[in-house]
Amino acid sequence: MNEYIDMKALLAGVDMFNVALWLSGVMVVLVLIGVRVAFATAFIGFLGLSLFFMQKQGFDRGLITAMKLVGQVPNSKSTTYVLSLIPTFILIGYLAYYAGLTKALFEAAKRWVGWLPGGLGVATVFATAGFAAVSGASVATSAVFARIAIPEMLKIGYDKRFAAGVVAAGGTLASLIPPSAILVIYAIIVEESVGKLLLAGFLPGAVSAVIYAALIIFMAKYRKNLGPPVTGFTWKQRFQSLPGVTPILFVVFIIIYSIYFGWATPTEAGALGAFVVLIMATMKGMKWRDLRGALMESAKLTVMIFTMIWGVLIYVRFLGFANLPKAFADWVSNLEQSPMLTLLLILGAYAILGMFMDAIGMMILTLPVTYPAVIALNGGIDVSAADSALGMSGAQVGIWFGIIVVKMAELALITPPIGLNCFVVAGVAQDGKMNISVQDVFRGASPFFVADVITVGVLIAFPGIVLWLPELIGR
């Protein structure tokens, strides 16, 4: 092949920056036509690396170099210690479900807030927020509460679209409230502190849950057919429901307390949490088939996430050689418009991109470009808060932007046509003979897009909500 095509001469003078732009466009097209993010990014990354090294070394040597690099990247990155945090957090959530802890959580929330307009919807949001504190996966949270909450809401006359939308939107809270797999992925890509990011997600997650609840109450109050309240619970019955919630609170306490005082790394805290939940599940009589189910579901989700990380890391390596992230960061930092307007445009692009990509794929695909741009927009990584464009130091911006990005990624879970949570809820509902279509779920979840936009606005206007806990612990 080399004697017929002199790739080094053919590619001489070709600007690899332009090649990276074109190949990135091809990759987006591949994703839009249904190619999995992991395979599309790996293919484009390999093709780009091959062209880059062929330009330097010729066809044979360039292809071999690219193949070696593509083989080394997944191996070197997948052996990173912090990645072991992902399967432990996912396992906690599935074990909690199979142990029956989620039913107790929903029952307690129903007894305490069910009397409000749309009370079961509010209870679902607070229950998903509580479950999110022991589960690292939004999809798992949505699937669990689709089985538990939707039948309860339909039984007392809730609108089926509204009920399904509440569950789909409530499931997104697992992306923000630690332990969160997607926050760990962000930390790995941008090389931020995993512990600080996990702690930073708590207050924004709580704010998001409260805004969801307020939206549900408002909608149910002015549209009586959406969700009637649930009454008749005595104070005694309410307090009797609290012991069922204590196992989840205990696990959350263990994870946060061990990280807070430095007794355990986030990975060790996740493993300890999984062990505690396993003991609780065993005490509650969990059978072998349930344990096997939890392990299999955790393995499937972990493999999916790891495969996406491998593919995207190959693509990111090519972008680094082509100098695309730095060029984009320089371009953003030189814009004449205000930094806040530029930031809003970046977030708007995330909202649009989220309509066509899943949350994790969108985030790990864009961060290598957007993160350096936001840091440059703020004035640089070493800038002080007093001198920065966004009023934060470089280290603070890294944490704050991570929470904002994850919140934007949550939109991708409930926006058509890709919204994964909506497909999961519809799938569970159809298996349970609830007569709820994917279109019904998307329509029911659409008002929560407004709630998420309000939450993002609050976090931008008051960054202290994000930064207070990490800074408190860093003192």
Q: Is the pLDDT of residue 394 over 60?
A: yes
pLDDT at 169: 93
DSSP state, 380? Answer: -
pLDDT at 5: 58
Give per-residue pLDDT as tens, 287-299.
888 888 888 878 8
14 or 405, which is more confident: 405
Q: Are residues 185 and 173 in the same domain?
A: yes
Instruction: Provide the token pair at 209.
Output: 């849950």
Does 353 reside within a domain?
A: no
42 or 326, which is more confident: 42
Query: For the residues 6-34, what does the mean pLDDT come to?
Result: 75
Domain range for 63 is: 1-79
- Identify which of 324, 408, 340 has the alpha carbon closest to the alpha carbon of residue 374: 340
| Predicted structure pTM score | 0.79
Does 470 reside within a domain?
A: yes
Q: Are residues 104 and 196 in the same domain?
A: yes
DSSP state, 383? Answer: -
pLDDT at 53: 84
Burial class (CB in 10 A: 0-12, 13-18, 19+), 288: exposed
High-pLDDT (> 90) share of the chain, %: 18
Q: Are residues 89 and 216 in the same domain?
A: yes
Q: Is the pLDDT of residue 260 over 80?
A: no
Say which range, 225-234, 293-302, 383-392, has the weakest mean pLDDT.
383-392
Does 86 reside within a domain?
A: yes
Query: For the residues 437-451, what does the mean pLDDT come to?
Result: 91
- Identify which of 441, 447, 468 has the alpha carbon closest to the alpha carbon of residue 145: 441
Q: Which of 79, 114, 132 represents a domain boundary (last residue)?
A: 79
Q: pLDDT averaged over the chain?
A: 81
CA separation for the pair 36, 116 (Å, rounded): 43
433 or 92, which is more confident: 92
Q: Are residues 434 and 445 in the same domain?
A: yes
Instruction: Name the amino acid, one letter, at 8.
Output: K
Q: Are residues 34 and 96 in the same domain?
A: no
The C-alpha torsion from 403 through 461 and 213 to 89, rounded to 10°, is: 10
359 or 350, which is more confident: 350
| Cα distances (Å, whole numbers) of residue 52 to 20, 29, 30 | 10, 22, 21
Give per-residue pLDDT as tens, 146-179.
888 999 899 888 999 999 999 999 999 988 887 7
Does 292 reside within a domain?
A: yes
pLDDT at 3: 45
Distance, CA of 412 to chain centre: 9
Q: Are residues 74 and 90 in the same domain?
A: no
Q: Is the pLDDT of residue 228 over 80?
A: yes
b/e per residue 156-177 (b: at least 16 CB within 10 A): eebbbbbbbbbbbbbbbbbbbb
pLDDT at 12: 64
Does 324 reside within a domain?
A: no
pLDDT at 77: 63
Q: Are residues 71 and 130 in the same domain?
A: no
Q: Are residues 123 and 170 in the same domain?
A: yes
Does 343 reside within a domain?
A: no
pLDDT at 385: 52
Which among 49-63, 324-338, 446-460 has the top mean pLDDT? 446-460
Give per-residue pLDDT as tens, 103-129.
888 889 999 998 999 999 999 999 999
| Band (82; pLDDT cuts 50, 70, 90) | low
Sole residue written with tokens 């957007």: 370
DSSP state, 11? Answer: T
Give per-residue pLDDT as tens, 304-350.
777 777 887 788 788 778 877 667 667 766 767 777 888 888 888 88
Does 245 reside within a domain?
A: yes
Q: Are residues 88 and 191 in the same domain?
A: yes
| Cα distances (Å, whole numbers) of residue 279 to 75, 144, 276, 291 | 33, 20, 5, 11
Q: Is the pLDDT of residue 395 over 80?
A: no
DSSP state, 83? Answer: G
Q: Which of 61, 79, 97 represents a domain boundary (last residue)?
A: 79
pLDDT at 269: 80
Q: Is the pLDDT of residue 226 over 70?
A: yes
Q: Are residues 42 and 15 in the same domain?
A: yes
Q: Is the pLDDT of residue 80 over 80?
A: no
Count of the separate structural domains present in the chain: 2
Q: Which of 26, 50, 79 represents a domain boundary (last residue)?
A: 79
Query: For the residues 60-70, what does the mean pLDDT come to?
Result: 84
pLDDT at 2: 46
pLDDT at 4: 44
Q: Are residues 144 and 49 in the same domain?
A: no
Q: Are residues 288 and 264 in the same domain?
A: yes
**Total Cβ atoms within 10 A of residue 430:** 13
Does 348 reside within a domain?
A: no
